[in-house]
Structure 1
Amino acid sequence: MPVALEHLAHAPSSAPLIDAAGLRPFLDAVPDPRDRRGRRHPLSALLAAAAAAVLAGARSLAAIGEWITDAPRWAQAALGFAPDPLTRQVMVPHPATVRRLLARLDGDALDAAIGAFLSARTARTREPDALRPIAVDGKTVRGSRTRTTVAVSLLSAMAHSGEVLAQRQVADKSNEIP
């Protein structure tokens, strides 16, 4: 599962569907890795549905795909899936489509979009002149190393309230300073 979606799982949430629908305008900035031909669903709808699944408790790509398939039709429509013009049924992607899309997605762009959403959401509740303590730490993503690739290392800035302010992939895991 992309690491950026995992940040949503730790964010305080009132309702997965409301938060995922509010995330859609921020997801428009994420570049679509799919070819223009054959795009059946908008990228923002697919990503908002994946985010809603994570907020509802999905912890794997298979669980995300199952949640999207099992969600009520009104929820799928609220997330941005358009109804078929003839049958008026809301068509959702196959779980394998969601899995392939999430695997090809630009993780930094998705992380920036989710970070902007979380910052905008918490900015409404914060005092404008209040100083916030920020912790910076580097981590290696568990399970990201293969025989041909090195493990993915991330550097993140986090507020003491648990909100991830920013996160970037770093080239080498020497330490957090470079």
Structure 2
Amino acid sequence: MEDKQAHYIALIKANHLTLHRMLKALPWRELPLLDKTQATAHGRDEIRRMKTATIDSLPFPYAVQALQIVRRRVVATGKVTLERLYAITGLAAEQADPAEIAHRVREYRGIEIKLHHVRDVTYGEGASHMRTGTAPRVMAALRNLAIGALRLTGHTNIAAALRHRARDITRPLTALGIT
């Protein structure tokens, strides 16, 4: 990463126990609010607040900042949900301002929804019984390949595209330019 001058922003989920606990334990209440955005979409109002902390002792390569993002959503029924996300980045405060970092996190979430949500919902990846050897990785790679091929051919609804392709055995090959 250092020789390529590359940077990252990694969302740290609760299944990364040690790192998530370390981030959660930072003195967030004492830190100032650095970015706040408000949006209305998909029948809900959402407010995102972000705080950052300079760090030097996390067991993660090149991490220099920790992030806490609090998302408050109000849906049409009036139900309010609060979600706290934690992330780390190799970007120093002078390399990207809080608004830029918040924008990059939202972009990442969009990619995550486009790919992982499709893999989980359309392909039922979470219900897969493949658990041994390299089979889960191979199947994930094949699913990613299929999703990528469908997106390259202009499809935005992967489930509909799969149904369409499944009706004729030659359609997948034609879409890839093989026949």
- TM-score tier (shorter): under 0.3
Name whichever structure is richer in strand by fraction: 2
TM-score by length of 1: 0.21
TM-score by length of 2: 0.21
Larger Rg computed on CA atoms: 2
